[in-house]
Amino acid sequence: MSLSICVTGGAGFIGSHVADACIAEGHRVVIVDDLSSGSKRNVPTQAQLEVCDIRSDHAATLMADGGFDLLIHHAAQMDVRRSVADPSFDADVNICGLINLVENGCRGKLQQVIFSSTGGAIYGEQDYFPADEQHPTRPVSPYGVSKLASEHYLEYFAHHYGIAATCLRYANVYGPRQNPHGEAGVVAIFINRLLAGEVPTINGDGCQTRDYVFVRDIVRANLAAIGRSGFQTFNVGTGVETDVNVLYGNILTVMNGGPDALHGEAQPGEQLRSVISSALLESELGVRPNTEFIDGLRDTVTWFRQQAHEQI
């Protein structure tokens, strides 16, 4: 059945891939994006683009009158450091923006929300590895707090309005179209700097670990969540820890060599280990992130090389 879907952040990295997949499935897609970090070049030609802030009256009217069956919400303030520097702004975008969309969507025909949450920042320093959905949530940044609060708001909306809400807690997502500027997305940052002839810098000793999941696997999880009833939360990760030194070595392998990275000061408060289990996702939705890391890196490097070539 064809659905009318609003994808917020659909001009950005993950959201644009999700929008592509929804269109390929035959759904009508409207993208809401303020283009603060996204790009029009990422927007599928078959999608309608509405350039606005998710906190705006325009977004509210669009959700109330747009006839959307489903909201896939990827627009966010996602810079952890900015959230620490300006918690009010982080909460305004991530919490108030979500409320603006969902409350007004429920005045229309909205039936479901799929929410992009975080599987790293929401758990904090883990008690066990990999973390499942039952792990205590102890976010140590305002960004993580706002994502957890958003999940609680969605649970409230599910009970109060009777809509379905599915929260997908992403691990560290990488892949084509990732923004190499800013502090998020170390894979994109390293590749971009190497292609520019620069020497990347690793924070601290590089032994901090993350769970790197390819964007294609994130898309599959989103598609599998369409039509789910009730309120549910799923991790989307590989269950595999990779430290930054190994990550950098893998990138050099794919790029056929390069300089040794520099090592800078460790970032204060940086999480030491982060890895999440997708066992519930696999058992409930039949999806398991299974892209081999080296294969995902190869596709990502190919895309960044194409971008660098087009800019010459």
So which residues are the catalytic ones? Answer: 143
CB atoms within 10 A of CB 62: 21
- Tallying the residues shown for the chain, one arrives at 312
Cα angle at 210 between 264 and 261, to 5 degrees? 30
Closest Cα partner for 76 from 107, 38, 23? 38
Contact predicate 243/273, CB 8 Å:
no
Which tokens belong to 86?
């300006």
Residues 6+ apart with CB under 8 A from 156: none
Q: What is the CA radius of gyration of the chain?
A: 19
Contact predicate 120/171, CB 8 Å:
yes
